[in-house]
Amino acid sequence: MKTQLQPLTLFILRSFAMIQIMVFVVSCHQESPEAIEDIPKTTNSEPWCVEGINELRRGDILVRPNLNIWPGTATLANGKNFGHAAIVVKGFKHNNMDSLLMGTTIVESIAKEVPKALQVREIAGLVYHKFDALNNVNFDHTKKGSRYRLRLPLTEEQIDKMIDFALHQKGDSSSWHAAKYIPLNERADTLRNFDSNTSWYCSLLVWSSVYYATGIDIDCTAGYMVYPNDLIASPAFCNNEDHIGRARF
């Protein structure tokens, strides 16, 4: 006699199968941090990111992936909660990742119970502090292998414009209810018109800063929400012979 599976068992097995199908495993080209400056040319057949960094530059984007359960998100492996994203406003160079992050300055929107004045803040890329308002471990060693450095081939003028936009939002509130906004009139390129939002979340701040400065939409899903996964998976950061747009560390 054949054994019949109970309904609960069937549900668990089917759910597990669906999860396996949904998970997109990001493969990376293995390179040591010391070799990043001399990365070999890439081709279409090579993996879509490189492994390891030893510098961060102004205008770089730091991202950790989010869970795939959120509606509308791009699907990536190793995500946790809502992930995180930030913009580098002052770069640094070091082979040790903790030292690299400690010497780097970022601007970010944080979803923490901190004073409103510090919810969109400028802070070092890694800070250990007992108060959340002054603490930043979003990209510390516990996230190794799930940290991405994204970089666009921008001019200095575009980088300045991108960073100025992000810094202009300091003092605004952080909220997942914030909405994407694209001005549609002839004055869309002016800061006053574009940054009408008074609340942000991490990846929205990054997306808006890039869009304002460059006109490039780095949300690969073009959804109502822009998740950290959507930034990581954006084709705007694909690597080519002349530019390393996406690296993991």
Give the pLDDT confidence score for residue 191 in this predicted structure: 59
In a domain, 38, yes or no: no
Q: Cβ(204)–Cβ(195) under 8 Å?
A: no
- Asked whether residue 31 is assigned to any structural domain, the reply reads no
Asked whether residue 221 is domain-assigned, the answer is yes
Q: What is the pLDDT of residue 33?
A: 40
pLDDT in tens, 131-154: 988 999 999 999 999 999 999 999
DSSP state letter for 34: G
Task: Residue 173: give the domain boundaries.
Answer: 53-248
Nearest to 228 by CA among 218, 238, 217, 236: 218
Tell me, what CATH number does 205's domain have?
A: 3.90.1720
Q: Return the minimum-mean-pLDDT range out of 22-36, 186-200, 207-221.
A: 22-36
Residue 179 pLDDT: 87
Entry pTM: 0.81
More confident position, 31 or 214: 214
% of the chain with per-residue pLDDT over 70? 76
Nearest to 233 by CA among 19, 26, 18, 22: 26
Say whether pLDDT at 94 is over 70. yes
Q: How far apart are CA 44 and CA 40, in angstroms?
A: 13
Three-state secondary-structure class, residue 75? coil
The encoded tokens of residue 77 equal 């492996």
CB 86 within 8 A of CB 202: yes
